[in-house]
Amino acid sequence: IPGPVEVSDEVLSAMSSPVVAHYGPEWTEIYDETLSLARRVFLTKSNDMFLIPGSGSAGLDAGLGSLVEGNRKVLVPINGWFGRRLRNIASTHSNDVHVVDFELGEPVDVGVIDDYLADRPDVEVLAATHCETSTGVENPVEELGKVCSRHDVLLIVDAVSSLGGSRVKTDEWGVDICVTASQKGLEAPPGLALVSVSPEAWDVIEGTPDPGWYLNLKVWKKFASDWASWHPFPVTMAVNNVLALKQSLTRILEEGLEERFQRHEEVTDFLRESLRNLGFTLFVGNDYRSTTVTSVEADSRFEVEELREYLEDEHSIKIAGGLGDLEGKLFRIGHMGPGASYDSILPLLFGMGKYLREVGE
């Protein structure tokens, strides 16, 4: 499934460490080390990195709310379920949210966004998904960053299902707010949102009305500054989640980011070719396929739910179904973190092949 992923024994061991206080110099050192590791995986030098107890959606709510509260004009390109979620979150903070819709299974068209921003110079923020988890499309964030820079628009990116498994070059691509979560490409248990913020975004955030308290990045930054050596966050930190994340980030960097990205790409291409050989139709073309999620169309040979139940009951393998308009029309395979390995993919392919033989293929 596209998360949460299985985690290593080392990460589980860190998660089960004795509970410690979330304040004081000893804990602050651990917390700061974790932030430093996260910056390296985000490929950012920003000093403003936050670990927020909650899901990836909490991080997106914090980023969007802190940036657009008070009816700042926002553009959201939508090509799937999680693009719509970005729109929904933005709409709770601003009454001036605009969308450009694209076909499901197709990437965001950078030229269309460029033209839109040229015609509407009052747009201040663009909010986009990187990997659209509902379809397995990887949107062209690098190119969107160039367009945003040209039009002086801030860019916030949902990298929840991509970062850690796909290249996300936060600084180089001009991503002003980058959000991910612990339970997917970062290979840790669910429970933490990670948010990086650029200096340019802070200039805007400082002049934005408060979106609340808990998910207000100004509050988080004040504690990170004023209480840096003792309690650099405004709430009780999920200490065991941080310990697990620290261990997982260490493992990721030990593997090497480029080696890790290549592993995900190789496994993705092997999986896609193997699925074609089994007669399946892939929902997304090669040029914009995600390296963490693959979607496969349903066809006359099987029902999606029957295939999912068979794999779980007979092979102890979980795959995900479609979301929203795509429910029953496709299934999704997650191959991020430990799932991006032949040891994970080969048993899945064996089980799918056996299922097709049993239903008469």
Quick one: three-class SS letters along 21-85? CCCCHHHHHHHHHHHHHHHHHHCCCCCEEEEEECCHHHHHHHHHHHHHCCCCCEEEEECCHHHHH
pLDDT band at 61 (very low <50, low <70, confident <90, very high): very high
Q: Tens digit of pLDDT for each residue in 244-290?
A: 999 999 999 999 999 999 999 999 999 999 999 999 999 999 999 99
Q: Using an 8 Å Cβ cutoff, are 180 and 165 in contact?
A: no
pLDDT in tens, 203-236: 999 999 999 999 999 999 999 999 999 999 999 9
Which class for 327: exposed (0-12), middle (13-18), buried (19 or more C-beta within 10 A)?
exposed
- Cis bond upstream, residue 232 (ω within 30): no
For 291, list phi and psi in degrees, rounded to 5. Answer: -100, 15
- Residues 111, 230, single domain; the answer is yes
| Co-location of 51 and 119 in the same domain | yes
Say if residues 58 and 269 touch (Cβ distance below 8 Å): no
Give yes or no for a contact between 100 and 115, defined as CB atoms under 8 angstroms apart.
no
Q: By three-state DSSP, how is residue 297 classified?
A: strand
Asked whether residue 292 falls in the same domain as residue 245, the answer is no
Question: Model pTM?
Answer: 0.97
Residue 3 lies in a domain: no
Residue 1 resides in a domain: no
Domain CATH number, residue 261: 3.90.1150.10
State whether 209 and 352 are in the same domain: no
Q: Which domain holds residue 34?
A: 9-254
Indicate if the alpha-carbon torsion angle 202, 187, 58, 228 is positive or negative. negative
Domain endpoint, select from 238, 254, 270? 254
Last residue of a domain, one of 234, 254, 274: 254
Distance CA 134, CA 126 (A): 20
Between CA 23 and CA 30, with CA 27 as vertex, the angle to 5 degrees is 145
Statement to judge: residues 76 and 165 lie in one domain: yes
Q: pLDDT at position 57, please?
A: 99
Q: Are residues 238 and 317 in the same domain?
A: no
Kindly state whether residues 221 and 343 are assigned to the same domain. no
One domain, residues 247 and 338: no
Q: How far is CA 120 from the centre of its chain?
A: 28
Does residue 128 form part of some domain?
yes
CATH code of the domain containing 190: 3.40.640.10
Q: Per-residue confidence at 126, pLDDT binned at 50, 70, 90?
A: very high
Total domains in the fold of the chain? 2
- Over residues 4-54, the pLDDT tens digits come to 999 999 999 999 999 999 999 999 999 999 999 999 999 999 999 999 999
